[in-house]
Structure 1
Amino acid sequence: MSNENVADGDVRRKGGLGQRIAYAFGNLGQAAFYNAMSTYFIVYVTSCLFSGVDKALAAKLIGVITSLVVIIRIAEIFVDPLLGNLVDNTNTKWGRFRPWQFFGGLVSSVLLAVVFSGMFGLVNVNSTLFIVVFVITFIVLDVFYSLRDISYWGMIPALSSDSHERSTYTALGSFTGSIGGNAITILVIPVVTYFSWVFTGENAEHQSGWTAFGIIVAVLGIMTAWTVAFGTRENQSALRANAEDNGGPLQAFKAVFQNDQLLWVALSYLLYAIANVTTTGVLLFLFKFVLDNQAAFSATGVIAMIAGLVMSPLYPILNRYIPRRYLYIGGMVSMIVAYVMLALFSSNIVLVFIALVLFYVPGTLIMMTVILSLTDSIEYGQLKNGKRNEAVTLSIRPMLDKIGGALSNGIVGFIALAAGMTGDATAADMTPTNIHVFKICAFYAPLILIVLSLVVFVSKVKITEKMHAQIVDELEAKLASGEIVDDEAQPVEAAEAAAAVGDETQTVKN
């Protein structure tokens, strides 16, 4: 038995069921937080935040806010790898990742409640000061949420270096993430409407309802982040013990750009993320302004939640018999069919729900394949460059999610303004032009991105379960003999070539 196998067995004995539950619980609040910010914050901005402001000024402020959100999150292309490097170079008696779960969860959650409060009504006092305070608050919120998100997913290789064990943690996180993210979709309208009625006596959306919604998500965010902080334990394997010096920011960027497999997976996922978040961001508009049945919108959250609850635990089982490459391809084909149906039959509620099933079911297959491919690229990069960058590598997916969310925020704001879907507008106010603009942005443009994502993945992503197992074996041998040097490209290429021969017919038996 190799040293690594001993280490992996030790990881499982020390972690146990309690650690798995604690880790899984973390993504319940994290996914709820992300969905609240990436989808419903702009809905709140366009529908309620400026309701007490002159309409002309409100339109300008909506444009300013959506533009600022896009700019801030695009800037994270450069910031998130630096935050990942900060996490990688954190050394405390509590470990590398857990402190950021504690502080990141606390600060980001408190500030989430603040932004959903409308900065405590400041917009009605001084709109200029509101913009300034909002920008500062949103940047700090985003940084600390990033630290929480990066440290959460970056923790997986610190819990195990075994591919199957990693898939178990990933599946657990995805399972609870499906509950948290989709519960927000189910509950947002009932919660906002209920608390608006409690505080105003009116059965409509008001600021008080959105404030209550923000506070609920914030409390959940703190509880779940602290569960990870206090309920997990990082372990040292041979691979991690020999990779304590992670270098500075320049080395972090160098590690990212030298890892070709990381970059191709990232590009494929970015195209998918932009399409996915754009569509989910405007589904409420589909039900409110096209189908004229806003009450039915909560059912989309039910569909998404059931899909996640079924597919998350099923993924590791399927992956024992089907290479994750084909799970990803199958998921993308399902989404393409869903987009075609949504574009052609957007006024038929029955066909819309069938399309949404095809849209949500493969989401877990795609997400978990990306997470595992990025996680396995850590050893790929370590063998190729002699550096092990855990949090930096796994900061890429959260960064791409936020870029997709930022672009979605901008697109949602654009649609709301261009199609007249703001303020007190109803389905009766929609013209054929309004609906046409909506369908182009919500379905046709994302469909093109999904097709491009599939093409990139099929043609460029080579890292597989078999290839990763060979890389780990190579790393073990080189670490044991002290042979790790700065340029290990040839062994990686050899592993890739060997993997290509057998990967068509079998997966690694973990």
Structure 2
Amino acid sequence: MEQATQPQTNQPKPEQSKPAQPTSTPSKARVIGRRICYAVGNLGQAAFYNVLSTYFVVYVTSTMFAGVDKALAARLIGIITGLIVVIRIAEIFLDPLLGNLIDNTTTRFGRFRPWQVIGGCVSALLLALVYTGLFGLVNVSETWFIVLFVVVFVVLDVLYSLRDISYWGMIPALSEDSHERSVYTALGSFTGSIGYNGITVVVIPIVTYFSYVFTGSHAESQAGWTSFGIIVALLGIITALTVAFGTKENESALRSKAQKNGSPLQAFAALAKNDQLLWVALSYLLYAIANVATTGVLLYLFKFVLGQPAAFSIAGVIPIITGLIAAPLYPVLNRYIPRRYLYIAGMVFMIAGYVMFIIGAQNLTMVIIALVLFYIPGTFIQMTAILSLTDSIEYGQLKTGRRNEAVTLSVRPMLDKIAGAFSNGIVGFIAVAAGMVGTATAADMTAANIRTFKMFAFYTPLALIVASLLVFVFTVKIDEKMHARIVKELEAKLESGEIANEDESTDGAA
């Protein structure tokens, strides 16, 4: 290592020009091709997640046990849904460990792309398997069905998480430039919105069509759901392979000279010292809890407060439209407006949306306006959080000497899962506290019921949004300019040997 750096000191001009050659900027066509391939990945990944997290429960409760005795079916549904909840909670603590595994992956294909192949392809095959009802094993042995289901679903969930974490963790490996990272993030968010929401549009047509093909009836059937699972699995495989073979990880000095990432405890210790990562995470967590608390009870708003449950589809159409507009718009605006101000503006929009919810909850027009104000900034806030977390990788590397890419970017999905876990409890609590259960209707709602609903659906989340904004404004310092300075300083320290390529030296520097 020292022998390689000394000639650079004696003859700086010729030696400094050579290393730049391998990392020279690729052609415009190649850059566009890599962007497209990366974007295609989240089309299948987001669709896969919706099928796994939302429609699998629908399949379990409606069709998986259709041929089983009703009492046994009810018991099995309870067991399966309970297991899914437990697995989801356990996954919160598992994601950083998976991130550390990815960070310590060393292959000639890079650190992230192998997990796109392994996680994407194997999880897709297992998804198709669970949508067959494990080939009707429940009709042979209830015990073996439960045992095998637990094993298959856990492995499926872990492999999907490896694909998800490696996908978003790849962004800092694709580029060191903040704006280019915002382009990749925007493209992934754009196709993710199409994939996730597109499944909602096609699920019933696909299931009923293949049910008719195999049974002669348009009623939902096992054959229909199995066909649906296979189609999504194929989409998952194709899109994962597109990312794996259509992108290229950038072997820059910052990445190639970074030391091994060490054990999970060492990785977590480095993250604990990364104050910018922690502040961004706290701000995003407050936002995420507020967001899921409100979106989780919008059906109650339409059903019990407005008394117009048929209009609830509006709450699904608005986020699709705003997401498709906001995702490609973000990198364009970010060329002229620092993302810090995009985040703050998004929070102001959300605050205005909550005010509209509070004062106009019983007026459909005002609720629609509130929904637009509520959903417009979601993409901006989430993308800013992802980019801030991404840039905190170099901040942490400069501060601690340890570079943790996948572990750092596993924080965001972990925060979403924490918020999701909160959401399940919040929704149930609001429904009971506001009397919106059983056979109750909008006509049964009293003024006290409405006030209780507003308190937990709007006032409390509004307070969380304000807290999130304050945390971001007063504690989050990392932005595009700061990140550019950090990258230059890191490159200089790596070249001079101040940051060594050895674990022992790094630990001492930290």
Settle same-fold status: TM greater than 0.5. Answer: yes
The answer to which of 186-195 and 217-226 deviates more is 186-195
CA deviation after TM superposition for structure 1 residue 22, in Å? 0.3
CA deviation after TM superposition for structure 1 residue 376, in Å? 0.4
User: CA separation of 1:107/1:185 partners in 2, compared to 1, >3 Å: closer, same or farther?
Assistant: same
The answer to which of 426-435 and 272-281 deviates more is 426-435
User: What secondary structure sits across from 1:102 in the alignment?
Assistant: helix
Q: Deviations over 1:113-156 (max 9, x none)?
A: 34445445556776655544333222211111111011111111
| Whole-angstrom distance in 2 between the partners of 1:207 and 1:284 | 29
Query: What is the TM-score with the length of structure 2 in the denominator?
Result: 0.81
Alpha carbons 1:46, 1:413 under 8 Å: kept = no
**Equivalences for residues 380-391 of structure 1 within 5 A:** 380-391=395-406
Q: Which residue identity lines up with residue 445 of structure 2 in the other structure?
A: P
Unmatched segments (≥5 aa) in structure 2: 1-12, 500-505
Q: Which residue identity lines up with residue 177 of structure 1 in the other structure?
A: G
| Whole-angstrom distance in 1 between the partners of 2:482 and 2:133 | 50
User: CA separation of 1:440/1:194 partners in 2, compared to 1, >3 Å: closer, same or farther?
Assistant: farther
| Whole-angstrom distance in 2 between the partners of 1:452 and 1:42 | 34
Which of 323, 343, 353 is matched with 2:338 structurally? 323
Q: Which residue identity lines up with residue 87 of structure 2 in the other structure?
A: I
Which of 428, 434, 445 is matched with 1:432 structurally? 445
Q: Does 1:108 align with 2:123?
A: yes
Alpha carbons 2:306, 2:442 under 8 Å: kept = no
The answer to which of 16-25 and 323-332 deviates more is 323-332
Q: Which residue identity lines up with residue 484 of structure 2 in the other structure?
A: A
User: What secondary structure sits across from 2:335 in the alignment?
Assistant: helix
Alpha carbons 1:379, 1:468 under 8 Å: kept = yes
CA deviation after TM superposition for structure 1 residue 98, in Å? 0.8
**Equivalences for residues 263-302 of structure 1 within 5 A:** 263-281=278-296, 283=298, 299-302=314-317
Alpha carbons 2:23, 2:250 under 8 Å: kept = no
Alpha carbons 2:23, 2:251 under 8 Å: kept = no
**Equivalences for residues 312-391 of structure 1 within 5 A:** 312-342=327-357, 348-391=363-406
CA deviation after TM superposition for structure 1 residue 446, in Å? 4.2
CA deviation after TM superposition for structure 1 residue 382, in Å? 0.4
Alpha carbons 1:187, 1:298 under 8 Å: kept = no
Larger Rg: 2
Unmatched segments (≥5 aa) in structure 1: 490-510
The answer to which of 42-51 and 222-231 deviates more is 42-51
Q: Does 1:249 align with 2:237?
A: no
Query: What is the TM-score with the length of structure 1 in the denominator?
Result: 0.81
**Equivalences for residues 51-450 of structure 1 within 5 A:** 64-121=79-136, 129-192=144-207, 209-281=224-296, 283=298, 299-342=314-357, 348-408=363-423, 432=445, 446-450=461-465
CA deviation after TM superposition for structure 1 residue 324, in Å? 1.4
CA deviation after TM superposition for structure 1 residue 427, in Å? 8.4
The answer to which of 465-474 and 12-21 deviates more is 12-21
Which residue is equivalent to 1:23? Answer: 38
User: What secondary structure sits across from 2:403 in the alignment?
Assistant: coil
The answer to which of 198-207 and 36-45 deviates more is 198-207
Alpha carbons 2:353, 2:373 under 8 Å: kept = yes
Alpha carbons 1:157, 1:390 under 8 Å: kept = yes
Q: Which residue identity lines up with residue 144 of structure 1 in the other structure?
A: L
| Whole-angstrom distance in 1 between the partners of 2:44 and 2:279 | 29
| Whole-angstrom distance in 2 between the partners of 1:136 and 1:265 | 35
| Whole-angstrom distance in 2 between the partners of 1:435 and 1:56 | 35
| Whole-angstrom distance in 2 between the partners of 1:292 and 1:203 | 31
| Whole-angstrom distance in 1 between the partners of 2:296 and 2:130 | 18
| Whole-angstrom distance in 2 between the partners of 1:283 and 1:201 | 37
Alpha carbons 1:66, 1:410 under 8 Å: kept = no
Q: Deviations over 1:7-54 (max 9, x none)?
A: 764356694211111011111111222233344444555666667777
| Whole-angstrom distance in 2 between the partners of 1:264 and 1:457 | 7
Q: How many residues align?
A: 487
Which residue is equivalent to 2:484? Answer: 469
CA deviation after TM superposition for structure 1 residue 239, in Å? 0.8
CA deviation after TM superposition for structure 1 residue 365, in Å? 0.3
Q: Deviations over 1:321-372 (max 9, x none)?
A: 3221221122123223334545665565444433332222111101110111
User: CA separation of 1:145/1:479 partners in 2, compared to 1, >3 Å: closer, same or farther?
Assistant: same
| Whole-angstrom distance in 2 between the partners of 1:46 and 1:342 | 33
Q: Which residue identity lines up with residue 99 of structure 1 in the other structure?
A: P
| Whole-angstrom distance in 1 between the partners of 2:64 and 2:415 | 27
Q: Deviations over 1:441-485 (max 9, x none)?
A: 765654444343333323322212221112112112111111125
| Whole-angstrom distance in 2 between the partners of 1:292 and 1:51 | 33
